[in-house]
A = this chain, B = another copy of it.
Amino acid sequence: MKNLIGACMFGQSGGPTSVINASAAGVFTEALQQGNITAVYGAAHGIQGILTENFYDIGKEDLAELENLKYTPSSALGSVRYKLKNVEEDETDYKRILEVFKKYNIRYFFYNGGNDSMDTCNKISKYLLKCGYECNIIGVPKTIDNDLYGTDHCPGYGSAAKYVATTMMELFQDATVYDKGQITIVEIMGRNAGWLTAASALASYKGFGPDLIYLPEQAFDIEKFLKQVQEVVDKNKGKCIVALSEGIKTAEGLYVAEAIAQGNTAKDSFGHAQLGGVAATLANLVKERVGGKVRAVEFSLMQRCGSHVGSKTDVEEAFNAGRYAVKYACEGYTDKMVVFKREEGKEYKINYELMDIELAANTEKKVPDSWILPENKGLTQDFVDYALPLIQGKLDNPSEDGLPRFARLKKVRA
């Protein structure tokens, strides 16, 4: 544990969220205040910007614009999906990173991302440790999927969950307005973990949510699904709302659209999964087997970049995650990731702690089975108690001409 003097580098990696830039704002504003940080750099497109010496001098930015990053979705510096090879396999990238870090005397490195990005961060950390190059490295978590191990929840999840629950309530209003029934099938992001789809249960909790919820944590049975939809339709004058994860799979491990395409069910020819997603594929099946008006809806990219409906709690926590990463690094910690620890008790409170980054890399946290109601009826009160605090607070996003006023960075090359 060493209190170093030198420059700091920050990079953004992986898919967009509403609050990834809020963490950037936290890192930057804190780093600019730290006496032992001599320069603050932001890498263009994460690790790639480091490899190509393409990064910005954040000291040249206006503080007001850095503050505005809190309300600017996605990655202001540019993101990247770049998986470092294992060092035993190919050392090239690692050598280059060390070279760049030495050249700019980078002694603090912060990397913001999900599982894969924490893996990258971990590999760099271990390599520099091995080489004896002193650099304090802290990962800043981020993912709408909420699937990172060791943290109560991930920055980005609260805002995406708020988008999902809010939009689901509005869709409920839209989809139930006619006297004639409609079956609405809503597809929500989440390949392996159903946290975001589970957030639609918050809408049900308010009385305006889906009747049936399908998470990737449980095998999807196409015939059972059709039966469950039929039951709701029969009970509810033809009205039925379904929320499901893009990643639902059959017991055989096939994505549902694949399974239908392969004719694994009694049904035949709805195998155009490449065109629509699973909601569109299932909507066609439901139209044929259950009948009535059926509509597929995808929350698509909107759910991960909808910062206009962001959670204030999420933005503040994302900001703090960045801030604490810098604080801890300046205290001498390294090879860690910031995690959220929720205090016991009725009042919601988060403490910002550290965990070995190795533990975060490439693990996945799933929705516990005990929080999933039987027969796809939704989520338990335990889930609601867990998730509801994360979506609290209305943002006071700056606007201009009635539209969002995103941060305008100068992006002066270092």
Shortest Cβ distance from residue A181 to the other chain B in the assembled complex, whole angstroms? 12
5 contacts between A and B (CB under 8 A): A74-B174, A166-B404, A173-B305, A206-B403, A275-B276
A173 touches B73 (CB 8 A): yes
> For the complex, is A336 an interface residue (Cβ under 8 Å from B)?
no
CB pair B404–A178 under 8 Å, yes or no, is no
| A151, CB-defined interface residue at 8 Å | no
Tell me whether A173 and B280 are in contact in the complex, defined as CB-CB below 8 angstroms, given that A45-B178, A179-B80 are known contacts.
no
Query: Which A261-301 residues have C-beta < 8 A from chain B?
Result: 272, 274-276, 280-281, 284, 295, 297-301
Please give me the residue from chain B that is nearest to A179 by CB atom.
Answer: B45
Given the known inter-chain contacts A169-B404, A275-B276, A388-B401, please indicate yes or no for A304 contacting B81, CB distance below 8 A: no
> What B residues does A184 contact at CB under 8 A?
301
Contact partners of A309 in chain B: CB under 8 A: 308-309
The answer for the CA separation of A393 and B178 in the assembled complex, in Å, is 30
- The answer to whether B167 and A302 touch across the interface, beta carbons within 8 angstroms, is yes
Answer yes or no: A202 CB below 8 A from chain B CBs.
Answer: yes
Q: Is A98 an interface residue (CB 8 A)?
A: no
Name A170's contact: one of B178, B208, B306 (CB within 8 Å): B306
Contact between chains at B394 and A399 (CB < 8 Å): yes
Question: Inside 8 A of A281's CB, which chain B residues have their CB?
Answer: 275
Pairwise interchain contact B275-A401, C-beta atoms closer than 8 A: no
Q: Does A115 touch B at the CB level, under 8 Å?
A: no
CB of A59 closer than 8 Å to a CB of B:
no
CB of A111, distance to nearest CB on chain B (Å): 16
Q: List the interface of chain A (C-beta within 8 A of B).
A: 16, 44-45, 48, 72-75, 78-81, 162, 165-167, 169-171, 173-175, 177-179, 184, 202-203, 205-206, 208, 272, 274-276, 280-281, 284, 295, 297-302, 304-309, 311, 388, 391-394, 399-404, 406
Find out whether the CB atom of B78 lies under 8 angstroms from the CB atom of A175. Answer: no
Decide if B308 touches A166 in the complex (CB within 8 Å): yes
The minimal Cβ–Cβ distance linking A240 to chain B, given in whole angstroms, is 15
Check A305–B402 contact: CB distance below 8 A: no
Partner among B162, B174, B177, B403 whose Cβ is within 8 Å of the Cβ of A166: B403
Bound-state CA distance A308–B166 (Å) is: 8
Across the interface, do A406 and B208 meet the contact criterion of CB distance under 8 Å? Answer: yes
Does B403 contact A179, Cβ atoms closer than 8 Å?
no
Q: Are B302 and A403 in contact (CB under 8 A)?
A: no
Name the residue on B nearest A399 (C-beta): B394
A402 — which chain B residues lie within 8 A by C-beta? 162, 311, 388, 391-393
Query: Are A16 and B80 in touch, CB under 8 angstroms?
Result: no
Within 8 Å by CB of A169, from B78, B206, B403, lies B403
* Given contact pairs A78-B177, A170-B306, a sample of 8 additional A-B residue pairs in the complex whose CB atoms are under 8 Å apart: A16-B174, A169-B406, A170-B308, A184-B301, A206-B403, A208-B406, A295-B301, A297-B301
Return chain B residues, CB-CB under 8 Å to A311.
402
Chain B residue numbers with a CB within 8 Å of A170 are: 73-74, 302, 305-308, 404
Q: What is the CB-to-nearest-CB distance from A171 to chain B, in angstroms, rounded to a whole number? A: 6
| Complex Cα spacing A413 to B284, Å | 38
A75–B174 Cα distance when bound, in Å, is 8
Which 6 A-B residue pairings sit nearest by Cβ, starting from the closest? A74-B173, A174-B305, A170-B305, A391-B402, A392-B402, A276-B276
CA distance A372 to B375 in the complex (A): 52
Contact A178 B403 (CB under 8 A): no
CB of B173 within 8 A of CB of A206, answer no
Q: Do B173 and A403 touch (CB < 8 A)?
A: no
A301 near B169 with CB under 8 A, answer no
Do B301 and A302 touch (CB < 8 A)? Answer: no
> B73 near A174 (CB under 8 angstroms)?
yes
